[in-house]
């Protein structure tokens, strides 16, 4: 595990390296981000961004999604994989948002995770990116890999346990942005197969590099 001082320095350096770090999914409306995150499950953000313009043009409002034929939505999201479940969740989620939340995204973890297809990772992303709730911590595959390699957590694989561990050590007001930094750093430098430690700005603080 890293010391509190090391953790703070890792956060500082990565935020400095990726000052514009944000979600790489394209969206215009809050609910579009919610639906895009659902589509991104086991799919790349790049692929999702390729198909959502046509999807959001065909269904331009939450009401349009709620009234949509699921099989038609399937045709738009087919290339994202698991398209039947994703299309079903999107239509059901739109219906629940209109029926129970007046068409607005709820602002709590408890309410968000009651929506069809929404887990803690998605809820944390919405809380952090849309509502800027301090402490919102998105644990995706990059976060799991990097937080373990760097020594921010102690050999944890369970996303909820990692989330809780990171909440204890990250500055709440920076945790959401820091998680976006981990995604960018994981893609650019700290690859799953072969991390490019020679190009890493935090290697001197990294447990994996120290060996």
The string of pLDDT tens digits covering residues 72-117 is: 999 999 999 999 999 999 999 999 999 999 999 999 999 999 999 9
Over the chain, what is the mean pLDDT? 96
The string of pLDDT tens digits covering residues 33-78 is: 999 999 999 999 999 999 999 999 999 999 999 999 999 999 999 9
Using alpha carbons, select from 184, 177, 185, 186 the residue that is nearest to residue 135.
Answer: 177
Active site residue 121: yes
Per-residue pLDDT at 211 exceeds 80: no
pLDDT value, residue 210: 86
* CA dist 194 → 51, 190, 208 (Å): 30, 7, 12
Q: Is residue 26 very low, low, confident or very high in pLDDT (cuts 50, 70, 90)?
A: very high
In the set 86, 121, 129, 177, the catalytic residue is 121
CA-to-CA distance for 173 and 129, rounded, in angstroms?
Answer: 12
Would you mind telling me the total number of residues written for the chain in this entry? Answer: 211
pLDDT value, residue 100: 97
In the set 140, 154, 161, 177, the catalytic residue is 140
Segment 110-136 shows an average pLDDT of 97
Structural domains of the chain sorted by starting position, each given as residue range(s) with its CATH number in brackets = 4-22+136-210 (1.10.1670.10), 30-129 (1.10.340.30)
Active site residue 140: yes
Q: Is residue 133 very low, low, confident or very high in pLDDT (cuts 50, 70, 90)?
A: very high
Q: Is residue 1 very low, low, confident or very high in pLDDT (cuts 50, 70, 90)?
A: confident
**Percentage of residues in the chain with pLDDT exceeding 70?**
100
Count CB atoms within 10 A of the CB of residue 79: 12
């Amino acid at each position: 595990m890293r010391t509190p001082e090391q953790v703070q320095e890792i956060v500082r350096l990565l935020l400095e390296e990726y000052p514009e770090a944000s979600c790489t999914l394209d969206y215009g409306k809050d609910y579009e981000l919610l639906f895009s995150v659902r589509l991104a499950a086991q799919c790349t953000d790049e692929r999702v961004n390729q198909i959502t313009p046509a999807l959001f043009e065909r269904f331009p409002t939450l009401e349009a999604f709620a009234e949509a034929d699921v099989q038609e939505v399937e045709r738009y999201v087919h290339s994202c994989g698991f398209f039947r479940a994703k299309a079903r969740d999107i239509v059901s989620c739109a219906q629940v948002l209109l029926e129970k939340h007046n068409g607005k995204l709820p602002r709590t973890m408890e309410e968000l995770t009651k929506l069809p297809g929404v887990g803690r990772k998605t809820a944390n992303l919405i809380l952090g990116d849309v509502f800027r709730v301090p402490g919102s911590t998105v644990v995706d595959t990059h976060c799991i890999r990097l937080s373990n390699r760097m020594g921010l957590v102690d050999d944890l694989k369970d996303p909820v346990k990692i989330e809780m561990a990171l909440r204890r050590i990250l500055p709440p007001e920076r945790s959401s942005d820091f998680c976006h930094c981990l995604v960018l750093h994981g893609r650019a430098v700290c690859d799953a197969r072969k991390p490019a430690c020679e190009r890493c700005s935090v290697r001197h603080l990294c447990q994996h590099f120290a060996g």
